[in-house]
Chain A
């Protein structure tokens, strides 16, 4: 399974590179091939505007990965900051920050993202903002727990007694020790953000036409399910394979970075 996940991820990277090399245009409209099935010219067939589905799938994966990476980085930075401050200071700071976190956690993440996206309006920038506004809470919770346990470690106390300031303690003595946990969390987060992006685009709140997005493609494909089943099957299979591969890779990454399991 590990090889499978790496192979799928590798295949996607290769496909995106090949898309660039062959200069596949995801937005070229050809009304003569509307909803045509796979052919030698259009390997994945054509969509409802006669655009090459393969080119759009590749463009969609770029967009999806771009959104996922930006959202993951932004949410990780913000969530880690909140979690470290709460865990380090404890008391009132911890109480206030965690109550805010709990309020965000009380809503289903995707529902909150839909609400933000609906208020902010559709578009790439607003999509990233909406997903970032809801995605930081898991990092905050995780980091807080880690910080509380690391806060009382000997090396931290030693650095503190030597006069190290809070930023130094947090970023030089605590953060490096929780990197592996955060990397694993980020791997899972990538997959969940990609699904969330696809969901919002499916609802018309994400990436706007003519830019390609898997969610928007799925929405279009569903409308033509009866006359062009290849469209929905291909886009669905692409989304499933990439998410599965990322999740499997996350599992292996977790196992690899888990010290206890390695010792076993």
Chain B
């Protein structure tokens, strides 16, 4: 009897221990999810309504709050997200929503009626920057809850890849809900609140993610080191990224980027109209030395807007123009230019942009060019670029996936405000190639004619606390991994 009692007591003790351990594990898991993951941003999103958002931060957050019909794979081919599609003709597309239907964060199912309402509202909005993108839509018909038909005015074989706007709920569109500040989507993160900080909650497990704005890069780094933030991505000088890489408590991940940096040229300028002058500028820049010394290591020299891995390039990288100041000078003399060639370069006041401009100035001086730098605040600078009030400017194309960028940026019918041909480049031969969608010929022509001077595809990085896992930067700088990010270890007190 005594032995039996001892066995019973031992079993009971073991059960209690197991229960306690389970409870502790559950509690720890719960704690991990209730303690927010804090993401420090250089700039907060400005607009959480995907019909209006234009800034990078808003678009990146909106990708997490909303879902679109279509997304892109690693080679930038359009792939189904909410819906599969059938191109009945270049003027008619059928989109079938995937089963089971996705749910909005207010628990209503996302149906074909919501798709129609979203795109109908974009077409009719007068103040949306997206409206012109969808002006080719003639009508949208709903056949049933899962099938929606888009009829186009003009044939467009790339129409499917344009349907990347997050879908909004029909009833809330009709009620003129304020999506800008209180978004309702169907994405992996749901909106919680937005006072000073933007709080999103992961639908799957309730993990809270807090976005805070910390403008100064040094302060962002210090906050990460002190445990006052868990994650930061982009907008840091490469030296600070290297500094973070030396810290044992911080994980830094980098990835080759796809965002294309370039020098824009004004083709109405009598000097820059000459191809030899443009070639001279292209040969005057030592891209590799700039990449090696003042950029992240995974940055790549660029030959075209779309990166080598893009499906239109089939993995073939166009070579960047080689650095050859002697050849530059010779080309300028052949073009009949009196040295030094005086050029005005406009850029924003961003410190890294001014730094790069100063390096360009020094490199181009060796090639007989006298570059005057004018750094303007972002609003003024972008207005000047849009108005064509420049000789040279430096900008970056962010998140470009479709080859129709070539038509928008270089088509002779695409001068602002219709398109983005801000340098007023007109080339009948290129127009014919664009019409034929002969992308290899288009990229080769652009590289030869140089309406842009290609610079590089800037690498992306993310730096986070060592307790953070399941996060990696994306080539276009998106924050998609916030849908899967986790805390791996027990939460320490000092950090929170």
Contact = CB atoms under 8 A, between A and B. Distances in A.
B358 A223 contact: no
B293 interface: yes
Given A31-B289, A32-B293, A226 B375 contact: no
B294 A34 contact: yes
A227 B373 contact: no
B375 A223 contact: no
Contacts of B375: 122, 204, 208-209
Interface string A14-32: 0000000000000111011
Interface string B284-327: 00000110111000000000000000000000000000000000
Given A31-B359, A227-B243, A204 B294 contact: no
Q: Is chain B's interface secondary structure helix, strand, loop, or mixed overall?
A: helix
B351 interface: yes
A210 B243 contact: no
Contact of B373 (A35, A50, A208): A208
Interface residues on B, range: 20 to 34
Interface in B257-291: 289-290
A49 B355 contact: yes
A27 B239 contact: no
B240 interface: yes
Contact of A209 (B222, B292, B358): B358
A197 interface: no
A35 B359 contact: no
B234 interface: no
A223 B243 contact: no
B243 A29 contact: no
Interface string B183-220: 00000000000000000000000000000000001100
B75 interface: no
A21 B479 CA distance: 55
B240 A226 contact: yes
A220 interface: yes
B358 A49 contact: yes
B237 interface: yes
B243 A27 contact: no
Interface string A28-47: 11011011000000000000
B42 interface: no
A227 B236 CA distance: 13
Contacts of A227: 239-240, 242-243
B354 A209 contact: yes
B421 interface: no
A224 interface: yes
A223 B361 contact: no
Interface string B350-383: 0100110111011000000000010100000000
Contact of A226 (B218, B292, B354, B355): B218
A222 B358 contact: no
Contacts of B357: 209
Contact of B362 (A29, A32, A208, A224): A29
Contacts of A222: 218
A223 B351 contact: yes
Interface in A125-168: none
Interface string A212-230: 0000000110111111100
A29 B358 contact: yes
A165 to B, nearest CB: 50
A48 interface: yes
Contacts of B231: none
A9 B477 CA distance: 51
Interface centre among B218, B289, B373 (most CB of A within 10 A): B218
B455 interface: no
B135 interface: no
Given A34-B294, A208-B375, A209-B354, A225 B218 contact: yes
Contacts of B289: 31
B379 to A, nearest CB: 13
B349 interface: yes
A211 B373 CA distance: 11
B305 to A, nearest CB: 27
A205 to B, nearest CB: 10
Contacts of B243: 226-227
Contacts of A122: 375
B362 A35 contact: no
Contact of A204 (B290, B349, B355, B361): B349
A27 B355 CA distance: 13
Nearest to B246: A227
A234 B182 CA distance: 49
Interface string B91-132: 000000000000000000000000000000000000000000
Interface centre among B242, B362, B375 (most CB of A within 10 A): B362
**For the complex of A and B, 3 pairs with smallest distance between CB atoms:** A31-B293, A29-B362, A227-B239
Given A48-B237, A209-B375, A223-B217, 11 more contacts: A31-B294, A34-B239, A204-B349, A209-B358, A209-B373, A210-B358, A222-B218, A227-B239, A227-B240, A227-B242, A228-B239
17 contacts: A28-B362, A29-B358, A31-B290, A31-B292, A32-B293, A48-B237, A204-B349, A208-B373, A209-B357, A209-B373, A223-B217, A223-B237, A224-B239, A225-B218, A226-B218, A227-B242, A228-B239
Interface of A: 27-29, 31-32, 34-35, 48-50, 122, 204, 208-210, 219-220, 222-228
